[in-house]
Amino acid sequence: MIHTIIKIEKEFDDFNRKLNGDPLKVPYEGGSPTSVKQRVDLITSALWITTSAPTTTYIQSYDAAANQFGNLLSTLKSIDVEVKGLESKLEKYGAPYTPGRFPEWKKDIN
Could you list the pLDDT tens digit for every one of the 110 residues in the chain? 789 999 999 999 999 989 988 877 666 666 777 889 989 998 998 888 888 888 898 899 999 999 999 999 999 999 999 999 998 888 888 888 777 777 666 777 76
The closest of 74, 104, 72 to 87, measured between CA atoms, is 104
- Does the pTM surpass 0.85? The reply is no
In this structure, which long-range contacts are made by residues 40-44, counting pairs with CB atoms below 8 Å and at least 24 apart in sequence? 40/65
- With b meaning 16 or more CB within 10 Å and e meaning fewer, what string describes 93-103? eeeeeeeebee
List the domain boundaries for the chain: 2-92
SS3 70: helix
| Distances 98 to 9, 41, 94, 102, 110 between C-alpha atoms, Å | 15, 34, 11, 8, 26
